[in-house]
Amino acid sequence: APDIPVAGVKAHLDRLQAVADAHGGNRAHGTAGYQASVDYIKEKLDAAGFTTTVQEFTRNGRTGRNLIADWPGGGTDRTVMTGAHLDSVTEGPGINDNGSAAAGILEVALAVSRTHLEPAKHLRFAWWGAEEYGMVGSRHYVDKLSADDRGKIDAYLNFDMIGSPNPGYFVYDDDARLEKVFKDHFAAKNIATEVETEGDGRSDHAPFKDAGVPVGGLFSGADYIKTAEQAKKWGGTAGKAFDACYHASCDTVKNIDDTALGNNTAAIADAVWKLAS
C-alpha cells in the first residue's frame, strides 16, 4: 500500500472540528453539523472519481444518512467494504469518536484514487449515520441488502476510534483471516497488539457480523483504563483511560495521538490493498 499522509488525515479532522464549532459544538444525528460532515466527505470522494450514494433512514423523527462510495471497477461479486461512523454524540465534536476513522478511511479512499488502483475485487467505503443511537445506519444498510448482495461482501472492515490520546492497539478477533491481516501488519512494524474486547458488538461491524459477513477492524481504546503492562508495551499513562474524553465535550482535535492515528491508517491501507488483490 502507498504511504497515507497523516497530515491529510489531520486536515480532515480540522474540518470536522470546524463543522462542529459552527453548529453548536457537535455533529450528531439529525443535525446540520452531521449534514455538513456528509457534505464535506462526499465532495472529496466525488472529486476523486468515486460513485457516491446517500442512503436515508429515519430515527427519532429525524432523517439519518449513510454515505456510500464505490470505486469503479473490480468484480462486484466480491466486494471489500470499509466503514466508519460519521456521527458524533450530542455532547461534543466527536473527533476521536469517530472523526479519526472517518478521516482515516477517507484518506485511504483518496489514495486508491491517486494511485489509480485497479483492484481485482470491488472496493466500497461507507460512512454511517446514527451509530451513537445503536448502529442505526449500518443496520439499516444491512437490512436493505438482498441476500444475494450480502453474499457478495467478502469482508467488512470497521474502524471506530483509531487515534485515542492514550492509545492501545486492539484488533477485532471476529474472523481469523481478517484478524491475521492486521496482526501481520503490526508485527512487521514491531507494534504489539491485543484482541479487542471493550467494544464487542458495540460498533457498526455488529450488523454485518449478525448477517454472516466476515468482519474485522481496529480500535485504540475508549473508557477502559490502561494497565501498567499495557503502558510498558505501548507507552502512555497507566491508570488512565485510553480516551478520557470519550463521549465528552473535550473530544476535540487536541484529543488525538498522531502516532496512533498514523499507524492505524497505514494498517487500514495495507489491509485494503491486500484484501482487494
Catalytic residues: 131
Please list every residue from 207 through 226 that binds ligand PHE, using CB under 6 A: 219, 222
Q: Does 97 bind ligand PHE (CB under 6 A)?
A: yes
Q: Does 160 bind ligand PHE (CB under 6 A)?
A: yes
10 binds, among Zn ion, ligand PHE, none (CB under 5 to 8 A by kind): none
Q: Does 185 bind Zn ion (CB under 5 A)?
A: yes
Q: Which of 126, 122, 100 is nearest to 45 (CA)?
A: 126
243 binds, among Zn ion, ligand PHE, none (CB under 5 to 8 A by kind): none
Q: Which residue has the cell 473530544?
A: 251
| Cis ω for the linkage preceding 60 (within 30 of 0) | no
Shortest CB 201 distance to ligand PHE, Å: 9
How many residues line the site for Zn ion (CB under 5 A)?
Answer: 5
270 binds, among ligand PHE, Zn ion, none (CB under 5 to 8 A by kind): Zn ion
Reduce the DSSP state of residue 193 to 3 states and report it.
Answer: coil
Please give the single-letter amino acid code of residue 3. D
Q: Does 158 bind Zn ion (CB under 5 A)?
A: no
DSSP string across 61-111: TEEEEEEEEEES-SEEEEEEEEEEE--B-TTS--IIIIIHHHHHHHHHHHH
Q: Does 87 bind ligand PHE (CB under 6 A)?
A: no
Stretch that binds ligand PHE, among 36-44, 102-110, 196-204, 255-263 (CB under 6 A): 196-204
Shortest CB 243 distance to ligand PHE, Å: 9
Rounded Cα–Cα distance for residues 277 and 267 (Å): 16
Shortest CB 207 distance to Zn ion, Å: 14
Task: CB nearer to ligand PHE: give 1 or 95.
Answer: 95
Residue 125 DSSP one-character state? E
Q: Does 203 bind ligand PHE (CB under 6 A)?
A: yes
Site track 85-104 with Zn ion (rule: CB under 5 A), x = hit: ------------xx------
Angle (CA) 178-183-156 rounded to 5° is 25
Reduce the DSSP state of residue 182 to 3 states and report it.
Answer: helix
Query: Alpha-carbon torsion 271, 272, 273, 274, what sign?
Result: positive
Stretch that binds ligand PHE, among 56-64, 107-115, 121-129, 194-202 (CB under 6 A): 194-202
179 binds, among Zn ion, ligand PHE, none (CB under 5 to 8 A by kind): none
Terminal Cα distance for the chain, rounded: 11
Q: Does 251 bind Zn ion (CB under 5 A)?
A: no
Reduce the DSSP state of residue 161 to 3 states and report it.
Answer: coil
Rounded Cα–Cα distance for residues 228 and 221 (Å): 15
Q: Does 252 bind ligand PHE (CB under 6 A)?
A: no
Task: CB nearer to ligand PHE: give 17 or 158.
Answer: 158
Q: Which three cell numbers stand for residue 91?
A: 455532547
Binding site for ligand PHE (CB under 6 A): 97, 131-132, 160-161, 198-199, 202-203, 219, 222
